[in-house]
Amino acid sequence: MAYSEKVIDHYENPRNVGGFDKNDPSIATGMVGAPACGDVMKLQLKISDAGIIEDAKFKTYGCGSAIASSSLITEWVKGKNLDEAASIKNTQIAEELALPPVKIHCSILAEDAIKAAIDDYKKKKNLA
């Protein structure tokens, strides 16, 4: 299948690959899997006391679209507060990367990873 230029760009030059210490209280970790294909995405956010996402890193075991989706969201969430980050929709990711229908679940994985990371943070801070 043909990947869009943006997918290939993020796949070949992924932004913010890596991780943070998950025991650091300012770090939120979201780990999700795609039932459709078994791929796994880990997204970590560094969140300031004021609730702003200062940094983000990811590790994704998956296809090009999943890697591109995670790379893209690490760029999108930086500087956002938690509500803004939680409102990022997979449809925006799919549109930005021009994902074909068969690859939509890869963008859903990225949306789910953001939500999972935010849930983790709220649990850590007893906000949930």
Catalytically active residues, by annotation: 37, 106
**Based on CB atoms, which residue is closest to ligand FES, 105 or 124?**
105
User: From the CB of residue 92, how many other CB atoms can be counted at a distance below 10 Å?
Assistant: 15
7 binds ligand FES (CB under 6 A): no
112, 32 Cβ separation under 8 angstroms = yes
Nearest approach, Cβ of 90 to ligand FES (angstroms)? 11
**DSSP state at residue 49:** T
66 binds ligand FES (CB under 6 A): yes
Nearest approach, Cβ of 17 to ligand FES (angstroms)? 16
Site for ligand FES in 86-125 (CB under 6 A): 103, 105-106, 109
Interatomic CA distance for residues 91 and 39, integer angstroms: 19
**Based on CB atoms, which residue is closest to ligand FES, 56 or 66?**
66
* Long-range contacts at 31-34 (CB < 8 A, ≥ 24 apart): 31/113, 31/116, 32/109, 32/112, 32/113, 32/116, 33/109, 34/62, 34/66, 34/105, 34/106, 34/108, 34/109
Nearest approach, Cβ of 66 to ligand FES (angstroms)? 4
36 binds ligand FES (CB under 6 A): yes
List of residues contacting ligand FES (CB under 6 A): 34, 36-39, 62-63, 65-66, 103, 105-106, 109
